[in-house]
Structure 1
Amino acid sequence: MNMVRGKFPELPRRPCTGPAVWRGRDLSASPAWALHLSPARLDELDAALRTVRARGTPLLKVTADHFPLPTLAGELRGAADELENGRGFVLVRGIPVERYSEEAAAVLLWGVGQHLGIPVSQDATGHMLGHLREGPDARAALSPRTEAADALALLCLEATGSRGRTTLASSAAVHNAVLAHRPELLDCLSRTHFLDRRGEQLPGGLPWQAVPLAHRDGDRLSLRYDRGRLESAQRYPEVPRLGSAERELFDLMDETASSPELRLDIDLAPGDLLLLNNHSVLHARAPREDDPDREHSFHLLQLWLTPHQPRSLPPVFWGDEHSRTGGRGGVAPRDVITPHPPTKGKPHVRPLRTPGAIRPVPR
C-alpha cells in the first residue's frame, strides 16, 4: 500500500499575535505565571481528600462534585482560561506532597484535574494517570514536543539535582521565527504527516496516524509536534519519506524552541503542579547534567486532559483517536484486560485505592 502525502488548509503567512506569543527570556524574571497556594487553599485540598475517603469513592469515579474546592475552584477556572486564551501554561506551587502517600497525591491530582477538564487515556491499556520516573535516556537531549492530548498536568512528587528541569517554549513564537527566517518551510506544516503509534493501535488498525501538524484559527495557532514519533514512523515502507524540507523545518523548530531567547527553564520541585496547553506550548525534559554516580530521584504524576471548554479543531487534527470518557485525543484503549503493567518506560499506574488517613502537619 502506497501512502500519498496530502495537504490540509494552508497556514496564512502572517505572524501570530496575542498572549500566546511569548519569549522565555522575557518571562524568566516574571512571577505572573506562578500561582502560590495560600494556607486556606491548602486546607481545601485536605478537606476534599477527606471527603473522598469518607465516601470511599474509587479513584476513577471521583468527579469535581466528589472533590469540592469552594474557592480554589475559581482559581482553577482562571488557570484553565489562561491555558486556553493566555500564555498557555500555569505553574501551581506549594502543594505539600510530603504530607501525602503516593495514592493520596494521585487522588489530589485527579480531583484537581476534574475541575480543569476530562481525563483521557495515555496508552492502549486505558491507563488514565501516569507515573513518569527516571529513565535510561535521562542524559539524552530531548526534542521539544507536544503530547497527544489538549492539555497536560504534571504533579512533581520527587526531583533531585537537575532532574526536575523542564523547558517550555511558545508554539506561536516558534511559528513566528520560522516565518521570519524560512517562510517557505511553513507549507510543510500543512501537509499530511505520519506519527508512529508505537504498537498502540487498535486491533486491525494502521501502525501510524496521518494528521496535520498545525491548524490556525485567526491568531490562534494549534501545533502538534513529536519528532520522535514522526521519524520512527519512517520504519514503515508504506509511509512517505520525509523530505529535506521537512527535516529542515524540524531542525529549525528544535533549534528555535531550545534557544536561550525563546525557551523558559522551570526547575520543578516537589509540590509543583505544571499545567500546560499542548496546542500552545512545546515542552521537553532537560537532560541530566549532574554527576552520574550521584543518586537521583525523579517522579511525576501525569494527567492528559480535554478542557471543559476546548478550542474548536477540525476532526482530522486528532485523526481517528477517540476517548470513552467524552474527551478527545489520547490513545484509544483496547478491549483487553492486562494483568501486568504496560511496556517498561511507558507511563503507567498500578491500581489505586482510595487513600488512607491523611495526617496534616503544621505549616
Structure 2
Amino acid sequence: MTGMTETGEAAHAPCSGPSVWRGGNLANDPEQWTVRLSPHQLAEIDSAVTEARRRDRTLLKVTAADFPLPTLAQELGRIAEVLEHGRGFVLVKGIPVEELGEPAASTVLWGLGQYLGRPVPQNADGHLLGHVRDTGRSLADPAARGYQTRAALPFHTDGADLLALLSLRGPRTGGRTSLVSAAVVHDTVLAGRPDLAERLYRTYFFDRREEHAPEEPPYAAASLAVRRGGALSMRYNRCYLESAQRFPQVPRLEPADVELFDLIDNVAGSPEFRLDIDLRPGDLLLLNTHTIMHARAEFEDHDRPELKRHLLRLWLALPHRPRTDDALAGVTPRDVIRRRNAASQAGTTPRRQPT
C-alpha cells in the first residue's frame, strides 16, 4: 500500500533517533564517530593474524574462532550496535596496513568482518573480498561498476546490510568519501516536497548490470524507502535507476521522478547534511547501507602501479535481519546460477552451497 509501512503506520512521518544526523554538526567533533585502536588492540590483531596462519585455513574459511580477539571483540560488539541502532557508521583508525602488506591486511579485514556479519558476494563472479581501484573502465559500460573507475560516484547505497572499506593506499589527489543520513534526506524531502516524498515509497526498477540468472529479468524492482517498525531503510542508485530505462519492459520515469532524484541528490550533497571524510591508509570505514548513503569524489591516481589507490571491500549481511530484499544479501554468483539451471533441467533441487 503506497504511503504505509509494513505494520500499517503512516510512512510519511519524520524519522527520529540517532540515525538522524547532520554532517555539519558531526564534522566539528570527529572523535564521537572515530575509534582509534590502542596498542593492546593492535597486538590482539597481530596475534589473531598469526593464529589464522597457524591454522592454515584459506582466507574465505577463516571464522571468528580462527581470528580470536579476546578484548577487541567487545569493542566490535559496541560498533555493531552503533551501526545497526545508532548513527549508522564508524571510522576505525590505526590498522598498520603498510607493515602488514596486502595479504595480511586482507586477513585482518576478513577477520574483523566475522564479528559484524556474514560476507556475501559483491558481484556475479562470487567475490567475497573486493578490490576498489581504477581499472580504466567507464561508467557508460553497462557491465562496469563504480568501484572500478576513478569517476565521481554520486550518493548511493550498496547491495548488502553493511559495507566495510579498508584503505591500503590513497590517490594522488581527490577521492574524498562523503556520507549522509538517509533519514535526513527523507525528512528534508518530506518537509519541502511532500508530494515527491510519496514517490519514495513507490516501486522503481534498478539495472542489474548483467548480474542475473538467464531466467531472471535484467532489472530488480524495489521502492526507494521502506519503513519497518518505524525504522527507515533507503535504497538509491540513480545510475542504476536511469540505466534500467534501456529495457523496454521497464516503465518510463515520469518528470516527477526525475525531480525527486534531483532533490535527493541536492539534499545529500548539501554541506549542511553531508559529512566529508578523507580516508587515509589504515582507515576502516564501516557503515549501515540501510541508513547511510555514500559518495566519492573523482580522483587522480599515481602513475606507478604500486602507489595507486587501493581499498579492500566487504559486503556483510546481518544474520538476524529479515531477507525481504535479495539485493541486500549480495549478488548471486554465476556458478550458483549454473548449478540452479542444471538442477532445474535435471528435475532436482540443488543443495545450498556455503558462501
Do Structure 1 and Structure 2 share a fold, with TM-score over 0.5?
Answer: yes
1:217, CA displacement in angstroms? 2.5
Name the counterpart of 1:187.
Answer: 198
1:129, CA displacement in angstroms? 0.7
1:257, CA displacement in angstroms? 0.5
Name the counterpart of 2:267.
Answer: 256
Q: Distance in 1 between matches of 2:185 and 2:86?
A: 16
Name the counterpart of 1:101.
Answer: 101
Residues 119-167 of structure 1 deviation map (CA, whole Å, 9 limit, x = unaligned) = 0001112110100013546664421000011110000000034444100
Name the counterpart of 1:230.
Answer: 241
For the residue of structure 2 that corresponds to 1:241, the secondary structure is coil
Name the counterpart of 1:112.
Answer: 112
For the residue of structure 1 that corresponds to 2:184, the secondary structure is helix
Name the counterpart of 1:52.
Answer: 52
Name the counterpart of 2:18.
Answer: 19
CA distance 1:139–1:45, shift in 2 (3 Å):
closer
Amino acid in the other structure paired with 1:55: R
Name the counterpart of 1:265.
Answer: 276
- Pairwise mapping of residues 338-357 of structure 1 onto structure 2 (< 5 A)? none
Name the counterpart of 2:134.
Answer: 134
More helix by share: 2
Amino acid in the other structure paired with 1:25: G
Percent identity, aligned pairs only, is 53
Name the counterpart of 2:69.
Answer: 69
Residues 232-258 of structure 1 deviation map (CA, whole Å, 9 limit, x = unaligned) = 100000100011111111110111001
- Could you tell me which runs of 5 or more consecutive residues in structure 1 were left unpaired when the two chains were aligned: 1-5, 322-327, 339-363
Which structure would you say has the larger RCO, counting Cα contacts within 8 Å and 6 or more residues apart?
1
Residues 233-287 of structure 1 deviation map (CA, whole Å, 9 limit, x = unaligned) = 0000010001111111111011100111000000000000000000000001112
Whether the 8 Å CA contact 2:4–2:11 is kept in 1: the answer is: no
Whether the 8 Å CA contact 1:156–1:270 is kept in 2: the answer is: yes
Amino acid in the other structure paired with 1:14: A
Amino acid in the other structure paired with 1:36: R
- Could you tell me which runs of 5 or more consecutive residues in structure 2 were left unpaired when the two chains were aligned: 139-148, 339-355
Whether the 8 Å CA contact 2:175–2:298 is kept in 1: the answer is: no
Amino acid in the other structure paired with 1:233: A
Name the counterpart of 1:352.
Answer: none
For normalisation by structure 2, the TM-score amounts to 0.85
- Pairwise mapping of residues 143-154 of structure 1 onto structure 2 (< 5 A)? 143-154=154-165
Pair 1:172 & 2:171 matched: no
Amino acid in the other structure paired with 1:89: F
Amino acid in the other structure paired with 1:228: C
Pair 1:245 & 2:244 matched: no
Whether the 8 Å CA contact 1:80–1:307 is kept in 2: the answer is: no
For the residue of structure 2 that corresponds to 1:116, the secondary structure is coil
Name the counterpart of 1:82.
Answer: 82
Residue-pair matches, total:
320
Whether the 8 Å CA contact 1:163–1:298 is kept in 2: the answer is: no
Whether the 8 Å CA contact 2:213–2:337 is kept in 1: the answer is: no
Whether the 8 Å CA contact 1:7–1:192 is kept in 2: the answer is: no
1:187, CA displacement in angstroms? 1.6
Whether the 8 Å CA contact 1:202–1:333 is kept in 2: the answer is: no
Q: Distance in 1 between matches of 2:286 and 2:169?
A: 17
Whether the 8 Å CA contact 1:125–1:336 is kept in 2: the answer is: no
For the residue of structure 2 that corresponds to 1:238, the secondary structure is coil
